[in-house]
Amino acid sequence: MPEATRTDERCVHAIYAREIAHRSANMIQQAIAAVHLSRRAGPGPLDVAMSQLTGAAELHRALGSPPAALVDIGYVLELACGAAVRAAGAMGNVQLHIAVDPVLADARVTRPLLMIAVELVSNSIRHAFEHGRGSITVGVRDKGDSMVLLVEDDGECHGWDRPGGQGRGIVDDLADALGGRVRRTVTPGGSARVSVEMPTIAAVAIARPAGNA
């Protein structure tokens, strides 16, 4: 394996460790809060806490070592982002929409893409929805030699920098590891839209069913 490739993989593993530590702390705090609430409000919040912990476990598996050399980007994105919604305790309140061009990718370079998407989805859940309800769209467009990841919510954008926040730095570092760049914009409706353009990680296009454009 070329030295440059080994260096890039070590960089991604280091960012992955930082991301997992950051996310685990948030999930544990949320679960603890739900358990404390259950002492006063009956079994409902405890069920939420259990669901969050289950979602956290699913998320760790989704971001872990993939079982195959090639993976369907849409499938693994749906698994990881869905687990992030469950880990946040947002099931039933936040609708997740996945719109991804059908491509297969080398599993080794898919993890950073998943980590970026999960961080952006989790950020929207935590900060965008005043009443805890809304929708998030995750899209991937493959342009042949480049690829764009887009995450957009229909909540309210309150800016990108928060005291003590680590999410922006994690996203920027992961995008840099992929050779990409991040663009953060506010939609005309006031919600957040984040796009990451990078060299394509697609190994091969998945054949579309006959009749589809």
- What distances in angstroms separate CA 74 from CA 13, 25, 83, 97, 105, one per listed residue? 22, 27, 14, 11, 10
Q: pLDDT tens for residues 181-206?
A: 999 999 999 999 999 999 988 876 55
Query: What single letter denotes the amino acid at residue 161?
Result: D
Confidence of residue 85 (pLDDT cuts 50, 70, 90): very high
Q: Inform me whether the pLDDT recorded for 115 exceeds 60.
A: yes
Q: What is residue 55's predicted lDDT score, i.e. its pLDDT? A: 77
What mean pLDDT comes out for the span 39-67? 69
The domain locations on the chain are 3-205
| Residue 59 CA to its chain's centroid (Å) | 10
> Which of 120, 48, 50, 117 shows the shortest CA–CA distance to 79?
117
Domain boundaries 3-205, CATH class: alpha beta
Place of tokens 């042949």: 144
- Least confident piece of the model among 22-36, 125-139, 154-168: 22-36
